[in-house]
């Protein structure tokens, strides 16, 4: 982030009900919510926190990163293999 998005910071998001997002990258030119799972498959419950975050912050780009191989969009959430996502940050 220091090289590509100067002024951005990483945060953690959690509601009083216990929903949480692993990483929130926020700054002048970036607003991302990122959930990371150590699984090769997805389950509907995996997306609850990202959906809740999107209701509160619809302007944020939301990512679900996992160890699977498929890339898709689910409920306006980018589902991506974690390796491909990290390579794309270069």
For residue 13, being part of any structural domain is answered with: yes
pLDDT of res. 5: 55
Q: Please give the residue range of the domain that contains residue 82.
A: 9-88
For residue 44, being part of any structural domain is answered with: yes
pLDDT of res. 2: 57
Distance CA 39, CA 59 (A): 27
Burial of 79 (0-12, 13-18, 19+ CB in 10 A): buried
**What is the full DSSP assignment across 2-66?**
TTTSTT-EEEEEE-TTS-EEEEEEEETTEEEEEEE-S-SS--GGGGHHHHHHHHH-TTSEEEEEE
For residue 3, being part of any structural domain is answered with: no
pTM: 0.90
pLDDT of res. 16: 87
For residue 2, being part of any structural domain is answered with: no
pLDDT of res. 7: 77
Spell out the per-residue pLDDT of the chain, length 90, in tens: 555 556 789 999 998 888 999 999 998 888 999 999 999 999 999 999 999 999 999 999 999 999 999 999 999 999 999 999 988 876
pLDDT of res. 69: 95
For residue 67, being part of any structural domain is answered with: yes
The structural domain count of the chain equals: 1
């Amino acid at each position: 982030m220091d090289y590509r998005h100067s002024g951005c910071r990483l945060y953690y998001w959690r509601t009083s009900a216990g929903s949480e997002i692993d990483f929130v990258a926020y700054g002048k030119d970036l607003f991302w919510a990122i959930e990371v799972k150590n699984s090769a498959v997805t389950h509907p419950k995996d997306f609850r926190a990202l959906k809740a975050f999107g209701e509160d912050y619809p302007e944020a780009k939301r990512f679900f990163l996992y160890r699977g191989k498929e890339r898709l969009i689910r409920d306006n959430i980018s589902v991506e293999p974690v390796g491909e996502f990290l390579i794309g940050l270069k």
